[in-house]
Amino acid sequence: MADQRALYQQVILDHNKSPRNYGEMECPDHKAEGYNALCGDQFTIYLKMGEGDVIEDITFEGAGCAISKSSASVMTTMLKGKTQAEAQQLFTGFTDMVTSDVDAPFDKDMVGKALVFSGVREYPVRVKCATLAWHTLMSALEDADGTISTE
Amino acid sequence: MSIETSTYDVQAIRKDFPILANARPHAKPLVYLDNAASNQKPQVVIDAIAHYYTHQNSNVHRGIHHLSQVATLHYDAVREKVRDFFNAPSAQEIVFTSGNTDAINLVAQSYGGAFLSEGDEVVITEMEHHSNIVPWQMICEQTGAILRIAPMNDDGDVILEEYEAMLSEKTKFVGIVYVSNALGTVNPVKEMTRMAHDVGAVVLLDAAQAAPHLRIDVQELDCDFLSISPHKMCGPTGIGALYGKADLLDKMPPFKGGGDMILSVTFDETIYNEVPYKFEAGTPNIAGVIGLGAAIDYMMNIGLDQIEAHEAELLAYGTKILQQVDGLRMIGTAKHKAGVLGFVLDAAHPHDIGQILDGEGVAIRAGHHCAQPVMKHFGIPATSRASLSLYNTKQDLDALVVALGNVNEMFG
């Protein structure tokens, strides 16, 4: 089970069991829903924005596998106080990391504590799980209508 | 019939399947329990396909040269094997298709297109695979017919009274899954077919998950159409077979146009070939048909009743030991089941279960199993599914339970 432990790191298991910033937000400035048709994973991201395009508060709710749920939870803990541009940079860093080749270098400074998801690189079918919340975040920030999907 | 399962030499059977020894997922022995998705192929099937391409390859029904005649002979001989496998009255009633899905689409488009009209009703069950839902939605959309769904209960049994009450003189077609791929339910298809015939409806049985596990007898069932998925029964992918009663196939228009399905073509008029060739446009999957023939020979040599008895014993054993896993709930608890052990676990999502099991060399399916209405019925997005084949052992199921213990340990 050693190789699976590399994917399911303790931080991931912990966030899966006790997700942070979980729940619906009253009167959010933005919200978006993300849906993974193949898995049935579904999350909603709620955002409250402050001055200077700063994310003042962020919550999520929904259901999915441990990877998608913990990824959403870890993401919310990283984004409070970040500007929209910084959030965009983290999104790029995260998606670059999980879609890079297993041995390829990636910029660890770009992903912060989401580094615990680097093991996802070895499991291409799980990339869509890890990125679902991030894509939904981007959709919420852009205030795009409708539901996004990582299928 | 009482079968001495001790005479079933599963270890000898396992040796017929090279992949069971060759594949070492994550350096672990392979425990293959994803047979409802596609099962493994015995050496005789692999060899038959290789032999065809090495010694017999040519196009069928076309050439006067030696190889074309050899290929045609072997191709058409498989039609007789399928007839025997189904106990169909005539080999003319066997149509080769590209798969089970293609077979159902053929019936929906050809029969449905010609004989369904506005206000007619098509009845299917709540536990259908998408392949026996979407083709009927499409033809209903095209013809104005209405699709009605016979509900099931929480064990995963069709509620027969509601099914029967749904049938009326408006019901022109009934599609029923013989064995549910998500739940394992063996539907009482003979009784359901009789009920449909009582109102004059035509019946298709989707036997994709039945043929690997049960002896099929189309004359006893009296179904009008029955389709199978050879790659779930030791055969290759890309091939399917459809049984249809001769009088129905005769009056149905072709599904696809092209070569081999015609007697003569002019720009003014085309005369279609006779059944079953009318439904086999273009060069068929000849090697696939040859492989299917070898797969049927292989299963019939072991004995369909012997396979059924072995798997019934495994299913009972698996059901018993799975229920001892902490937080596990079986999805699909019908009294009469075949081949499928569906479940959810409190501690972990099906995809995480599938991932951890994979690390242990245990291959199962996690997801909605192309039966989203079934998932909706149980209010869950997905299940984990272990599914059986003739080469599985109690040790395979023991390995599954040990690996589920690891899941509980990690996520608990």
Break chain A into its structural domains and give their ranges.
Answer: 2-146
Contact B202, B173 (CB under 8 A): yes
pLDDT-derived band at A147 (thresholds 50, 70, 90) equals low
Q: Do B356 and A4 touch (CB under 8 A)?
A: yes
Q: For residue A87, what are the CA distances in angstroms to A76, A84, B393?
A: 11, 5, 52
Mean pLDDT over A68-72 rounds to 97
Does the structure's ipTM exceed the value 0.85?
yes
Q: How far apart are CA B12 and CA A147, in angstroms?
A: 52
> For position B6, what pLDDT does the model report?
55
> Which residues of chain B neighbour A16 with C-beta distances below 8 Å?
411
> Which residues of chain B neighbour A66 with C-beta distances below 8 Å?
348-349, 352, 411
Q: Do A4 and B355 touch (CB under 8 A)?
A: yes
Q: Do A65 and B410 touch (CB under 8 A)?
A: no
> For position A104, what pLDDT does the model report?
87
Q: In chain A, pLDDT over 70 holds for what percent of residues?
A: 93
Contact B157, B196 (CB under 8 A): no
Chain A residues with CB within 8 Å of chain B CB:
1, 3-4, 7-8, 13, 16-17, 38-42, 63-67, 69, 123, 126, 129
Could you tell me the two tokens for A111?
């992903």
> For position A107, what pLDDT does the model report?
85
Q: How far apart are CA A12 and CA A73, in angstroms?
A: 9
Top CATH class of B46-300 equals alpha beta
Q: Which residues pair with A96 in a beta bridge?
A: none
> For position B65, what pLDDT does the model report?
94
> For position A74, what pLDDT does the model report?
97
> Which residues of chain B neighbour A1 with C-beta distances below 8 Å?
356, 359-360, 406, 410
Q: Which residues pair with B206 in a beta bridge?
A: B177, B227
pLDDT-derived band at B85 (thresholds 50, 70, 90) equals very high
Instruction: Please give the single-letter amino acid code of residue B398.
Output: D
pLDDT of B5 strictly over 50: no
pLDDT-derived band at B62 (thresholds 50, 70, 90) equals confident
Residue A65 distance to chain B (closest CA, Å): 5
> For position B30, what pLDDT does the model report?
98
Mean pLDDT over A59-87 rounds to 96
pTM check: above 0.90: yes
pLDDT tens for each residue of B244-272: 999 999 999 999 998 888 888 888 888 89
Q: For residue B172, what are the CA distances in angstroms to B140, B146, B151, B351?
A: 12, 10, 18, 40
**Inter-chain CB pairs, A–B, below 8 Å:** 49
Give the mutation candidate from B26, B344, B352 for the A interface (greatest A CB count, under 10 A).
B352
CATH number of B5-32+303-411: 3.90.1150.10
Residue B356 distance to chain A (closest CA, Å): 6
Active site residue B370: yes
Catalytic residue among B140, B223, B234, B370: B370
Q: How far apart are CA B264 and CA B270, in angstroms?
A: 6
> Which residues of chain B neighbour A38 with C-beta distances below 8 Å?
367
pLDDT-derived band at B170 (thresholds 50, 70, 90) equals very high
Q: Do B368 and A40 touch (CB under 8 A)?
A: yes
Q: Which of A13-27, A42-56, A57-71, A135-149 has the lowest mean pLDDT?
A: A135-149
Q: Do B352 and A17 touch (CB under 8 A)?
A: no
> Which residues of chain B neighbour A13 with C-beta distances below 8 Å?
410-411
By CA distance, what is B384's nearest residue in A? Answer: A39
Q: How far apart are CA B217 and CA B226, in angstroms?
A: 10
pLDDT of A39 strictly over 80: no
Q: Do A4 and B348 touch (CB under 8 A)?
A: no
Give the closest of B26, B367, B410 to A8, CB-based. Answer: B410
> For position B1, what pLDDT does the model report?
43
Residue (of A114, A115, A58) closest to A84 by Cα position = A58
Mean pLDDT over B117-127 rounds to 98
> For position B92, what pLDDT does the model report?
97
pLDDT tens for each residue of B334-353: 999 999 999 999 999 999 99
Q: How far apart are CA A84 and CA A30, in angstroms?
A: 12
Contact B383, B344 (CB under 8 A): yes
> For position B61, what pLDDT does the model report?
87
pLDDT-derived band at A149 (thresholds 50, 70, 90) equals low
Q: Where are the domains of chain B?
A: 5-32+303-411, 46-300
Cα R_g (chain A), whole angstroms: 14
Residue A4 distance to chain B (closest CA, Å): 6
Under CATH, what is the fold of the domain A2-146? Sufe protein. Chain: A (3.90.1010)
Q: In chain A, pLDDT over 90 holds for what percent of residues?
A: 73
pLDDT of B2 strictly over 60: no
pLDDT of B214 strictly over 50: yes
